[in-house]
Structure 1
Amino acid sequence: MMAQLLSLGLGRMKQPKVIAEVLGGILLGPTALGRIPGFTQHIFPSQSLPYLSLVANIGLCLFLFIVGLEIDASIIKRNARMSAIVSLAGMALPFGLGSALSVPLYHHFIDPSVQFTHFMLFTGVAYSITAFPVLCRILTELKLLDTTVGIVVLSAGVGNDVVGWTLLALSVALVNAGSGLTALWVLLTCVAFTMFLLFVVKRVMLWLARATGSTDNGPTMFYMTVVMILLWACAFFTDIVGVNAIFGAFLAGIIVPREGGLAIALTEKLEDMVSIIFLPLYFTLSGLNTNLGLLNNGITWAFTIAIACLAFLGKFGGCTIASRLSGFSWRESSTIGALMSCKGLVELIVLNVGLSAGILSPRVFSMFVLEALTLTFMTTPLVTALYPPERRVIATSGGAPPQTRDDECRDFDADKKSLVNEEQPWRHRFTVVLDRIEHMPCMMALTQLVRPPVPDFSSLTTAVSMSTASHPTPSKHKTPEVSISALRLIELSDRTSAVMKSSTADTLTHTDPLLGIFRMFGELNDLPVSTSLTIVPHDDLAHNVVDHAKRNASQLILLPWLPPCVGTAETSEGGTPRRDKFDHNPFETIFGTSRDRSTSAVHSQFVRGVFAQSETDVALFVDPGNQLNTGAGTGGSHHIFFPFFGGPDDRLALEFVVQLCANPKINATVVKMEKREIGNTQIERPPSVYSDIKADTNSLALLHQHGVTTSTMIGFPDTVYGQANTQMRMQSETADSIVWTRYAGRNLSDSDIPGPLRAALSRINFTSLASPVPLHAAIQRASMCQRVLVIAGRSKRLAVEDHRAELKDLVEEHRVVGHEVISKTIGDVATAFVVSGCASAMVVLQAAANVRME
């Protein structure tokens, strides 16, 4: 409980969870709560300490087994040249400084019965080691794994960890041995045992994994049993030989096969119990041995500060200089040095081994614990300051930084402007977001919609040939080839397995089932698909999508969404909808939570984040009924309905409809909606409804005349309507008229129209419709069509009309509750179609940020 409570606050500071666990153990010990009279005697009585120590050591063996599973030798092989110098320098200089500092420390604080060489060796190892598990977590959370700096640090950290554990095993062997000859025998025995595991047992484990099908379907019960027996057998052997049980557990983790994600699957089965129960117990035991109250005089604090400063300077200086000599810039070199100075859990394990062996005194142990805590705490903010996102260099397969990316983006932007602003509004570079298997049908349907028309269709061929015969089509009017970048999103959780997946993202890109399905979909439909995979925390998912689209110069982001199921409201005795009395829970406001924590509701936050941050046009595919019936298949013709209300999002939607209708199998009805008084209406509604809506719209118009915005929603910036002042209305109406005239007012017999555009416009029926209740009118017109795909602009910014009053009436008519999340996500117009249920599917579009600000 103490560790979890501390992690809530430290997590917001981007600190790894190990900080909270170490602090929790220290606070439970004699440093803080242990000072309360009777606390230690009742909570941690002396009779319980042997059992606590036993369980903690079992948990420590399991943790070191997971650390061994994390270490991938292929990482060292791929980056041996870059990381070898950094790893060696990051161990040699700190080891020398630690050995030098051990001289005054030994004379001031260590009992003379302890041999100086043993203490010096432990001090040097504690200085030179790097916390690889914590380092992986920091690299993942700071999104550095795909940078050149992250690759070097990861491979150097693996080598550092292996050498560090070897040195620690040597240190323990020397301490436990009665003579140098005995220590040599222990060391040679461990080397022989390690060779036997690496060259014999490892091959047997791989054969057994393949024979039992564990590499294909995850570890079987039999294979899991064999792995556990191997783990405890290795731990037992190294313990009786005279080293420590944790080294055997570490070796057992290294020899487990990596094929088929087997190591990740084993980690998933063990990590929860280890991280929730066993590790906190180990830190509690460590905290009971840590008493910061012993740092009670000037000389002790002077040595503590010296320990921390020299430990940081040794790691930071050695790795920085080595990186600089390897060709990195000073900024990158200093970032590598700052990351390698992370201590975390591994140094605490070294210190506890030294304390249990009697080499370290409680005072020196507390001094080193404070040093490890300080260096781990400062790693994240220091790296963030030294290596901000705009300075990062993404590594490529060949190791060279992509220097031409900015030039390519500028070329793509120019190409995009020339395509969108000319007569043909074709968008051809798309980013497709894949996050769940249930969203795959949505993304396949939307991708099928935006694909270019097949050239051998008779109608399109005829139109193009007629245009070419009379006026040759310039090259700029050619339909460009579609380029699709599929981005697979995986949420980074607190689990170690998630960090392991992020470090092997390159492999997962080729084995991920969602990406495999979408690649096959692209091959079957002759669509070029490039794939990528990213593992980031939930709060960074939206930013990652936006950044990926920007880096790939995408012109449209394609998102899926299955909206929360809206239910029918309960009615009171008078027949009016009755609200749930728990709708306004004060605790939800205090803690920022919501009652609706369904998958769709949580996913809507991600969708709204993309809408809010995107500098690229966004198309959201909405499946209202969770049963896809899009009409985007290959057989038969399909109909699109688009109500044009105006605004930048609707103008984008109109261009999108024109592009879709370039496909001969798609036709559309585009209705320009206009709000007018009852006398000019073209639909028939009950008079009672008209009177209510008329009063609401009149009051709304009065507010607009005085420049008052009617939305007071707080939270996402994309949920607030723009000020409907006269200047904004004139600008928006002018832009609407230009776009409407460009497509609806064209004479198809005009020879200046390019062939593909003429063919697309011939399949669109442009009409106008005036009504005091435009949402009702649009729904009624759409309901006349069968198998209809509704396209709408999101219109959450710079909207000319606010439909909130009419949407409220529409919701009450259908007696629907739970529409608030939908309205915040896709806007009022699209929400009206979802609530009414007249659309089999929808596509909601939002224009890019630079367009919305014009």
Structure 2
Amino acid sequence: MPEFSTTIVTLFNKRTAQDQGGLLSGKDPTEVNTNDPIRLWIIQVGIIVATASFLSLGLRKIRQPKVIAEVLGGILLGPTAFGRIPGFTEHIFPQDSRPYLSLVANIGLCLFLFLVGLEIDAGVVIRNARLSASVGLAGMALPFGLGAALSYPVYKQFIPEDIAFTHFMLFAGVAFSITAFPVLCRILTELKLLDTTVGIVVLSAGVANDIVGWTLLALSVAMVNAGSGLTALWILMVCVGWTLFLLLGVKRALAWLARKTGSIENGPTMFFMTVTILLVFGSAFFTDVIGVHAIFGAFLAGIIVPREGNLAIHLTEKLEDMVSIIFLPLYFTLSGLSTDLGLLNNGITWAYTVGIVSTAFIGKFGGCTLSARFAARFSWRESGAIGSLMSCKGLVELIVLNVGLSAGILTQRVFSMFVLEALILTFATTPLVTFFYPQECRVRVAATGANFNNVSDGNEEERSSGRIPRETEAGLFKTRFTVVLDKLEHVPGMMVMAQLIQQSIPAIPTSDDNVSGSKKSLMRLKSAAPSIEALRLIELSDRTSAVMRSSAAESILLSDPLLSIFKMFGQLNDLVMSTALSIVPYDDLSQSVVDNACDSGSEMIMLPWLSSSTSNDNYLLENMTVSPRNPPNNPFEALFRTNAPTDKSAALHSQFVRGVFACAKKDVALFVDQSTPGMFIGSSHHIFLPFFGGPDDRLAVDFAAQLCENPKTTATIVRVMRRDSEVPIAPVEAAHIGEEKGAVEAHAELTIASVTNTFPDTVYGHATTETRLQSETADNIIWSRYTSPTHTSVYPSQEALKRMEFRELISPIPLHAIIAAANEEIEAVKGKRMLVLIGRSRRLAVESHSKEMKVLMDEHGHVGSEVKKTMGDVATSFILARCGSGVIVVQTAANQG
């Protein structure tokens, strides 16, 4: 017993002695300590992750997948670049520390292959087997044959004779024929090809290719590890038996456990996650001990996880961050430490490198392109895109190469040659696909019908078939709307807009034979109910689960809570409604909305303003106003305010809205919800429209007339004209204007210059005499058309005109005057929801309100600059005054007005 106590005391004393000192006592933190390697490991991880992240920032701008940055980072940290710095490798990546890096990296690799297995859905292959089978077969057979042929001269030139040629040939064939399925999914998603015929064929062919590739890799490793052919056969048979055991037995048990624990309905429970992780590493252990690499067992574990209830996606969400942030960069750095491009130092080596790159590309691209063109009957452009996508190598080939390197089949020189080939082909994938298959040539899968019952991206085919009537292009009224939903807070505001446009088209009988044909067509269209497409917008992040969600678009359309709420609202209110889904990177959100509106034939895009941003602006108005008339009690209060809002979503959302305004080819309506808790919300609406003039205001008048076709909607339209006068706004305001006139004008010019290059639609244009006269003439025409309608007017109807009141208002301070008129209107229409409808008037406007806006902000508070840039001065003034329960800001299509 004393011996045990002595041993324990000795161990603790030894541990204490090791922890003494450290950096402060002069110790080198990069010194290798095999008993306590955590210090150096943290340094290595920090350098690796920082390098990969920095490179990905630049490569993301040219739409390259993150794997390119990780591979390049590994190569730079290896002997190719940083390794040539004296002392770098000895201090940061010494040889004694690499086993610890290798252990963590291989744990991460097993988890990554488990995630790859989760991504693979065999149902995709089965559903599209007819068209994808030929592409997948050609994409495996031809590259494998060319790789096997090229392996002979490479073997004679670079591989030692103690390595069997058959082993090297098999590895070369697998490396040439495999496709990087995870990287392929991300490229398809980022290029918005998942819902095209090309994307579906490539996805299903890539799944089959991946499964066959991993099987061939397992066979290769088995042959290398076997001492004889009989042993290899036994290894292969045991591996097949284990695979069948997992697919037939364990898969059912795992599905039963998922249902029993409620993991399918509510996401994976802790117990289910524990069982799954044990299964992953248990399967990896078994395949490793029988002579096949551990990654194959982890891959099989991912395949057998149930797909019901998006369980695979939820599992991915729990594991992907640690795998992608820490484990994979570590693995690629280990590959980079074994990659020395400096070994490619003579002509014969570069000749073989060029041959490897060319042969690999020709085999994949040529085989898949020709198969898609002649067997699947795709066009040459589509076939070229399929061949380019299938030639993507990515990290899967790197895994194969690392397995070959660790097995001693590849030398460092040949390994470096193949790594360069994988890097070049992956880098070239996105540019080649963009070249072969631009946006205007894409063919998308129809929402209904059999597989590959497709429609063109263009709208001419839809117009010719009658799905989009040509009469709607006149712009007098609108029947097709796109409603954007991306957050739960947006749903109430979009419900208000949907309720507004309900029954906004009058039903006019068409039985009169004396009516002309064009008028009959107009009447028939006006008798149709408005249709709404609810567009669910989801930002595509760097996470694997986001890519998996984009692949499972059909299930998301059926189960998404936002769409479910909005669809139920539509059913209860008899709205004609359809749904759509768009999962794209943040930079493409605005363009995605515009593209979806064009594809669906929508005539107006309806956007919500995030309610949290509105409340944030109200907070700024109430609590953070600092003006000459309202100075802070404490001069440090404005700087050190502890309860200041931290929500940054307002600026991000305003950038998204401005992006839609900038590139929209359709009319756009932005709804800003200003309702407060306890405010009366009824089904009747009153529209208050200040008409200053310009194309956006003219659109607002037409839209108000259409809304008044609904019996529950009335409108007051006030034509506002500025009349210069010596009457001051108020003594204080007049003095303020006089003092800061020059500053305001200089500030306005500076603002215009600063934003013109980014958002050319968000600044006032320089109105010439010609444009001013044209705009005033158009304003007078539309005003007289509504205030003095002729008996031949077809639209708006007489009933709608009875619900519209027209006034004129002349004032030297138009914004103040129209806000006062709106407040009076609110009192007059109590019991109705008061909505302010305003033209954005930030493009082609003939008048600027910047001086009066300065006064309004001093009176009511300083609203964020993003609000003003997004909505325009008039709408911002109503938001500053908190006038009405909602503000609708409309902008006419870019080619109109």
Q: Which runs of 5+ in 1 are unaligned?
A: 585-594
Q: Conserved in 2, the CA contact under 8 Å of 1:433 and 1:558?
A: yes
Looking at structure 2, the residues matched to 578 and 809 of structure 1 have their Cα atoms a distance apart, in angstroms, of 22
Q: Aligned with 1:817: secondary structure? A: coil
Looking at structure 1, the residues matched to 317 and 750 of structure 2 have their Cα atoms a distance apart, in angstroms, of 51
Query: Displacement of 1:600 after TM fit?
Result: 2.0
Q: Conserved in 2, the CA contact under 8 Å of 1:629 and 1:841?
A: no
Q: Conserved in 1, the CA contact under 8 Å of 2:694 and 2:846?
A: yes
Q: Aligned with 1:178: secondary structure? A: coil
Aligned to 1:313: 362
Q: How does 1:375-386 map to 2 (within 5 A)?
A: 375-386=425-436
Query: Displacement of 1:765 after TM fit?
Result: 1.6
Amino acid paired to 1:668: A
Q: Aligned with 1:84: secondary structure? A: helix
Structure 1 residues 306 and 626, CA gap change in structure 2 (3 angstroms) = farther
Q: Conserved in 1, the CA contact under 8 Å of 2:700 and 2:837?
A: yes
Structure 1 residues 254 and 817, CA gap change in structure 2 (3 angstroms) = same
Structure 1 residues 657 and 116, CA gap change in structure 2 (3 angstroms) = same
Q: Conserved in 1, the CA contact under 8 Å of 2:505 and 2:529?
A: no
Q: Aligned with 1:728: secondary structure? A: helix
Query: Displacement of 1:818 after TM fit?
Result: 3.7
Structure 1 residues 570 and 651, CA gap change in structure 2 (3 angstroms) = closer
**Residues 1:559 and 2:600 are matched in the alignment:** no
Query: Displacement of 1:411 after TM fit?
Result: 7.4
Structure 1 residues 582 and 270, CA gap change in structure 2 (3 angstroms) = farther
Looking at structure 2, the residues matched to 470 and 334 of structure 1 have their Cα atoms a distance apart, in angstroms, of 56
**Residues 1:190 and 2:236 are matched in the alignment:** no
Looking at structure 1, the residues matched to 453 and 253 of structure 2 have their Cα atoms a distance apart, in angstroms, of 39
Aligned to 2:321: 272
After superposition, give the CA deviation of every residue in 1:408-430 in whole Å (9 maximum; x if it has no partner).
24677984646856xxx431111
After superposition, give the CA deviation of every residue in 1:649-686 in whole Å (9 maximum; x if it has no partner).
0011011111112222222211110101337x8xx953
Aligned to 1:587: none
Query: Displacement of 1:74 after TM fit?
Result: 0.8
Q: How does 1:2-151 map to 2 (within 5 A)?
A: 2-151=51-200
Which range is displaced more, 670-679 or 601-610?
Answer: 670-679
Looking at structure 1, the residues matched to 743 and 330 of structure 2 have their Cα atoms a distance apart, in angstroms, of 65
Structure 1 residues 629 and 540, CA gap change in structure 2 (3 angstroms) = farther
Aligned to 1:643: 690
Which range is displaced more, 736-745 or 713-722?
Answer: 713-722
Q: Aligned with 1:490: secondary structure? A: strand
**Residues 1:437 and 2:491 are matched in the alignment:** no
Looking at structure 2, the residues matched to 187 and 628 of structure 1 have their Cα atoms a distance apart, in angstroms, of 71
Aligned to 2:453: 400
Aligned to 1:170: 219
Q: Conserved in 1, the CA contact under 8 Å of 2:468 and 2:601?
A: no
Match of 1:492 among 540, 551, 554: 540
Amino acid paired to 2:290: V
Query: Displacement of 1:382 after TM fit?
Result: 1.3
**Residues 1:664 and 2:715 are matched in the alignment:** no
**Residues 1:828 and 2:881 are matched in the alignment:** no
Q: Conserved in 2, the CA contact under 8 Å of 1:420 and 1:427?
A: no
Q: Conserved in 1, the CA contact under 8 Å of 2:486 and 2:536?
A: yes
Looking at structure 1, the residues matched to 315 and 238 of structure 2 have their Cα atoms a distance apart, in angstroms, of 28
Q: Conserved in 2, the CA contact under 8 Å of 1:132 and 1:161?
A: yes
Q: Aligned with 1:605: secondary structure? A: helix
Aligned to 2:753: 712
Amino acid paired to 2:386: I
Looking at structure 1, the residues matched to 212 and 317 of structure 2 have their Cα atoms a distance apart, in angstroms, of 27
Structure 1 residues 234 and 700, CA gap change in structure 2 (3 angstroms) = closer
**Residues 1:481 and 2:525 are matched in the alignment:** no
Query: Displacement of 1:375 after TM fit?
Result: 0.9
Number of equivalent positions = 818
Aligned to 1:759: 799
Q: TM-score, normalised by structure 2?
A: 0.87
After superposition, give the CA deviation of every residue in 1:351-374 in whole Å (9 maximum; x if it has no partner).
111111111111111111111111
Match of 1:813 among 841, 854, 859: 859
Structure 1 residues 471 and 294, CA gap change in structure 2 (3 angstroms) = closer
Q: Conserved in 1, the CA contact under 8 Å of 2:505 and 2:528?
A: no
**Residues 1:785 and 2:825 are matched in the alignment:** yes
Q: Conserved in 2, the CA contact under 8 Å of 1:68 and 1:251?
A: yes
Looking at structure 2, the residues matched to 260 and 152 of structure 1 have their Cα atoms a distance apart, in angstroms, of 25
**Residues 1:152 and 2:152 are matched in the alignment:** no
After superposition, give the CA deviation of every residue in 1:15-51 in whole Å (9 maximum; x if it has no partner).
1100110111111111111111211111112221111
Looking at structure 2, the residues matched to 788 and 625 of structure 1 have their Cα atoms a distance apart, in angstroms, of 10
After superposition, give the CA deviation of every residue in 1:609-634 in whole Å (9 maximum; x if it has no partner).
11111111111101136769585x33
Q: Aligned with 1:795: secondary structure? A: coil
Structure 1 residues 95 and 445, CA gap change in structure 2 (3 angstroms) = same
Q: Conserved in 1, the CA contact under 8 Å of 2:459 and 2:598?
A: no
Q: How does 1:243-262 map to 2 (within 5 A)?
A: 243-262=292-311
Q: How does 1:500-519 map to 2 (within 5 A)?
A: 500-519=548-567
Q: Aligned with 1:112: secondary structure? A: coil
Looking at structure 2, the residues matched to 293 and 202 of structure 1 have their Cα atoms a distance apart, in angstroms, of 48
Query: Displacement of 1:302 after TM fit?
Result: 1.0
Amino acid paired to 1:648: P
Looking at structure 1, the residues matched to 747 and 83 of structure 2 have their Cα atoms a distance apart, in angstroms, of 64
Aligned to 2:478: 427
Looking at structure 1, the residues matched to 393 and 638 of structure 2 have their Cα atoms a distance apart, in angstroms, of 48
After superposition, give the CA deviation of every residue in 1:827-846 in whole Å (9 maximum; x if it has no partner).
00000000111221111110
Structure 1 residues 334 and 753, CA gap change in structure 2 (3 angstroms) = closer
Query: Displacement of 1:533 after TM fit?
Result: 0.6
Structure 1 residues 691 and 172, CA gap change in structure 2 (3 angstroms) = same
Q: Conserved in 2, the CA contact under 8 Å of 1:628 and 1:841?
A: no
Aligned to 2:409: 359
Structure 1 residues 624 and 536, CA gap change in structure 2 (3 angstroms) = same
Structure 1 residues 695 and 411, CA gap change in structure 2 (3 angstroms) = farther
After superposition, give the CA deviation of every residue in 1:751-784 in whole Å (9 maximum; x if it has no partner).
5455962111111221111000100001001111
Which range is displaced more, 734-743 or 102-111?
Answer: 102-111
Amino acid paired to 2:851: A
Amino acid paired to 2:462: E
Structure 1 residues 471 and 521, CA gap change in structure 2 (3 angstroms) = same
Structure 1 residues 628 and 7, CA gap change in structure 2 (3 angstroms) = farther
Aligned to 1:741: 784
Q: Conserved in 2, the CA contact under 8 Å of 1:335 and 1:387?
A: yes
Q: Aligned with 2:770: secondary structure? A: helix
Match of 2:418 among 368, 376, 390: 368
Looking at structure 1, the residues matched to 381 and 680 of structure 2 have their Cα atoms a distance apart, in angstroms, of 51
Structure 1 residues 822 and 413, CA gap change in structure 2 (3 angstroms) = farther
Query: Displacement of 1:717 after TM fit?
Result: 1.1
**Residues 1:223 and 2:276 are matched in the alignment:** no
Looking at structure 1, the residues matched to 264 and 834 of structure 2 have their Cα atoms a distance apart, in angstroms, of 46
Looking at structure 1, the residues matched to 82 and 747 of structure 2 have their Cα atoms a distance apart, in angstroms, of 60
**Alignment RMSD, CA only?**
3.0
**Residues 1:446 and 2:494 are matched in the alignment:** no
After superposition, give the CA deviation of every residue in 1:720-754 in whole Å (9 maximum; x if it has no partner).
211222111111111001111111223xxx75455
Aligned to 2:642: none
Looking at structure 1, the residues matched to 144 and 883 of structure 2 have their Cα atoms a distance apart, in angstroms, of 72
Q: Aligned with 1:260: secondary structure? A: helix
Q: Aligned with 1:619: secondary structure? A: strand
Aligned to 1:529: 577
Aligned to 1:539: 587
Amino acid paired to 2:485: L
Structure 1 residues 482 and 578, CA gap change in structure 2 (3 angstroms) = farther
Looking at structure 2, the residues matched to 240 and 487 of structure 1 have their Cα atoms a distance apart, in angstroms, of 51
Aligned to 1:589: none
Q: Aligned with 1:667: secondary structure? A: strand
Query: Displacement of 1:481 after TM fit?
Result: 1.8
Aligned to 1:686: 730
Q: TM-score, normalised by structure 1?
A: 0.91
